[in-house]
A and B are shown apart, each in its own frame.
Chain A
Amino acid sequence: MTSDQGPKPRVYQADFLTALFREPLDPAYAQAAEKRRDGPPPPRWRLLTRKGIALVVLVVIGFLFAVAYRQVARDAPEREKVRNGLITRINEQKENTSRLAAEAEGLQADVSMLRDLALQDPDQARELRQLEAATGVSKVTGDGLVVRLSDGPDAATNDKAQILDYDLQQLVNMLWYFGAEAISINGRRLTSVSAIRKGGGIYVGDFPVASPYEISAIGPPDLYDQFNKSLTVQIYRDLAQRPEHRFGLKITKRDDLVLPAALLPELRYAKVPGPSPSPTPSGGGK
């Protein structure tokens, strides 16, 4: 074995790793054994002292193991706690957000009602509501269609199976083209200022959306047929079937769609020019 082949002078090989794999034991052990065999045995008290020190070292090692184990065991729940805390906070914030959104919607309804009262002229009130619906700042309902786009099953590894902002843009543009009056993506209503863009995921306006994407559109009765027959949709259908893409595309006709109101940014720089042709009463134009 190892004891009888040990070379006399300790040789340091250049190829350290090979030596390490071949002979993992510290060569000093073999050397010490050899010395012991050759020379006279050391005095008994020295042997005993050495034994004692070795035992102390063993106690220290055991201590070290226990301490390290305790350390790891203590850190684990700590990490878990931090993680759970984060999850709780995320959920809280989500709830908070939806509560605030509901509140905003309620307030919006109040504002519209009060404004209608203030306006007095029912024609003007109706026109205003019509404009609001068209620009996206109020909730609308109507018949239309839902386009469901989803990343392919291997989207994580295959770029071509991922839905891009461009795809959503194309389909939304086609919907506008065929007369859609209100469109939302994953519950985010599109307005004249909401972009569909890429930013570490896809953003609709300022909100991130994720696959599956659901484009809901309210439009004329022939919207579904026109859209379905359009070249763009045919191309997408064809692409969705191909093995290298294989993303999900489903277009369904849907009645009584409800599209939420969008958050419109406050206008700070753009102003209505001159005296407007129809005099706006206080509160209406702001």
Chain B
Amino acid sequence: MIAVLALIAGVVAGVLLEPTVPLALQPYLPIAVVAALDAVFGGIRAKLDGIFDDKQFVISFISNVLVAALIVYLGDKLGVGPQLSTGVVVVLGVRIFGNVAAIRRHLFRA
């Protein structure tokens, strides 16, 4: 419950503060969002499995975002930015789907 409140607090802060994203960071924003979604759904699933771990959650989020950003950065430098971004989105997307399916099984027993 507190976790949901924290998430909502973050959204509210984002809406109220109206931050502007620096131009240099803009390409990483979508990837960061996908990485964050992966971490969140992974966390929810772990919670439902009864094996949630705060440290694990923090590490998975930070490493997800960093690795994803690094891959996109490298891709941009190598001239294959869009392809590598697609790769990151596919891998994280598969994980999100799998975790959401597990969450669904937990919640609806189906």
Q: Is A271 among interface residues, defined by CB-CB distance under 8 A? A: no
Using CB atoms, name the residue of chain B closest to A33.
B51
Contact of B11 among A1, A29, A32, A65 (CB under 8 A): A65
The stretch among A52-60, A208-216, A260-268 that forms the contact with chain B is A52-60
Within 8 A of A (CB), among B1-49: 2-3, 6-15, 18-19, 21, 26, 29-30, 32-33, 36, 39-40, 42, 45-46, 49
Question: Across the interface, do A51 and B54 meet the contact criterion of CB distance under 8 Å?
Answer: yes
- The interface residues of chain A lying within 8 Å CB-to-CB of B46 are 25-26, 29
Number of interface residues of A (CB under 8 A): 38
Min CB–CB distance A84 → chain B (angstroms): 23
Question: Across the interface, do B56 and A29 meet the contact criterion of CB distance under 8 Å?
Answer: yes
- The interface residues of chain B lying within 8 Å CB-to-CB of A23 are 98
Give complex CA distance A55, B60 in Å. 14
Contact of A61 among B2, B39, B99 (CB under 8 A): B39
Q: Is A71 among interface residues, defined by CB-CB distance under 8 A? A: yes
When each residue 8-29 of chain A gets 1 if its CB lies under 8 Å from chain B and 0 otherwise, what string results?
Answer: 0000000001001101111011
Within 8 A of B (CB), among A21-56: 21, 23-26, 28-30, 32-33, 36, 47, 50-51, 53-56
Give complex CA distance A212, B102 in Å. 57
Q: Is A66 among interface residues, defined by CB-CB distance under 8 A? A: yes
Question: Across the interface, do A60 and B94 meet the contact criterion of CB distance under 8 Å?
Answer: no
Question: Across the interface, do A71 and B36 meet the contact criterion of CB distance under 8 Å?
Answer: no
Give complex CA distance A54, B56 in Å. 9
Min CB–CB distance A169 → chain B (angstroms): 43
- The interface residues of chain B lying within 8 Å CB-to-CB of A30 are 51
Question: Across the interface, do B29 and A24 meet the contact criterion of CB distance under 8 Å?
Answer: no
Give complex CA distance A2, B105 in Å. 12
- The interface residues of chain A lying within 8 Å CB-to-CB of B2 are 55
Give complex CA distance A118, B7 in Å. 87
Give complex CA distance A95, B42 in Å. 58
- The 9 A-B residue pairs whose C-beta atoms are closest, nearest first, are A62-B10, A66-B14, A24-B98, A33-B51, A50-B54, A59-B10, A58-B6, A54-B54, A63-B10
14 more CB-based (< 8 A) A-B contacts, given A53-B54, A61-B39: A20-B91, A21-B98, A25-B42, A25-B49, A28-B59, A29-B52, A29-B53, A47-B54, A54-B57, A56-B6, A58-B3, A59-B7, A69-B14, A71-B21
- Pull 25 A–B residue pairs with CB atoms less than 8 Å apart, ordered by A: A3-B49, A20-B95, A23-B98, A24-B94, A24-B96, A24-B97, A24-B98, A25-B98, A25-B99, A26-B42, A28-B56, A29-B49, A29-B56, A32-B56, A47-B54, A55-B2, A57-B57, A58-B3, A61-B7, A62-B11, A62-B13, A66-B12, A68-B32, A70-B15, A71-B26
